[in-house]
Amino acid sequence: MTKKERYAAVVAYFSESMPVAETELSYGSPYELLVAVILSAQCTDKRVNMVTPALFLAFPTVQDMAKAKVEEVLPYIRSVSYPNNKAKHLVGMARRVVEQFGGEVPAERKDLITLPGVGRKTANVICAVIYNQPTMAVDTHVYRVSKRIGLAPSSAKTPLQVETELVKHIAADIIPKAHHWLILHGRYVCTARKPKCDSCGLTEVCRYHRTLSGRRKEQEASL
């Protein structure tokens, strides 16, 4: 199977099985999504969604967050990973958005990555989800699933290498949705330790599954 054929099969499968694919983070504005994505680094969306309602009630706008002190934000996010650093990032991010971008979350990746706590992955999420730009955020799920299926070469060593490959082969207009396809597939089906191949509709095109099947046949032949 060629790479083009594999990509076509994967897109066709998800288009049919997951026509609606969206972030599982709860948010009501670009500011709230940016806060949620910063908090989600090395933390589950479920946990983030548990802390953000009270956080957004206390700091409903980016201007409110910009006026806050780190020690005022910290109690609201103690249960997420790395709360001290993230509290600093949230306040620093908000102040920069207010001072440099007029209180509006910027729409360009080059501007977003200048904000405290915002790297390329977070910037790509904002660009895709809020501004519907063809940016592919590669988190651990996207990285793992892309390499397992064969959308990215097994030799890819960095998220940027995987991102470059995905953006090259997926049509621009569906990249924002494809990002969620891969995340959700990795979160619920192609899990890290025990992928649920028996309930996966991509086994026919999956490089990882083909390798597993080959190993099983070799083991059976040796018995």
- Give the Cα separation of 175 and 130 in Å (integer): 13
- Final residue in a domain of this structure, among 94, 129, 164: 129
Confidence at residue 126, expressed as pLDDT on a 0 to 100 scale: 98
| pTM of this structure | 0.89
12 lies in some domain: yes
Q: Catalytic: 139?
A: yes
In sign, the C-alpha dihedral spanning 170, 48, 122, 26 is positive
Q: Which domain holds residue 169?
A: 1-18+135-219
23 lies in some domain: no
pLDDT in tens, 75-92: 999 999 999 999 999 999
pLDDT in tens, 10-51: 999 999 999 999 999 999 999 999 999 999 999 999 999 999
| Residue with tokens 């990285």, as numbered in its chain | 143
Which of 86, 121, 147, 177 is flagged as catalytic?
121
Confidence at residue 214, expressed as pLDDT on a 0 to 100 scale: 56
Residue set of the binding site: 190, 197, 200, 206
- Give the Cα separation of 180 and 142 in Å (integer): 9
- Give the Cα separation of 130 and 124 in Å (integer): 10
Q: Are 34 and 125 found together in one domain?
A: yes
Q: Are 14 and 73 found together in one domain?
A: no
Q: Are 97 and 154 found together in one domain?
A: no
Task: Name the domain count of the chain.
Answer: 2
Q: Are 125 and 40 found together in one domain?
A: yes
94 lies in some domain: yes
Q: Are 45 and 7 found together in one domain?
A: no
Q: Are 38 and 120 found together in one domain?
A: yes
69 lies in some domain: yes
Q: Catalytic: 111?
A: no
Tell me if 118 sits within 8 A of 93, measured CB to CB. yes
Which of 86, 139, 147, 177 is flagged as catalytic?
139
CATH number at residue 82: 1.10.340.30
Q: Are 171 and 107 found together in one domain?
A: no
pLDDT in tens, 148-202: 999 999 899 999 999 999 999 999 999 999 999 999 999 999 999 999 999 999 9
Show the tokens assigned to 218: 């070799």
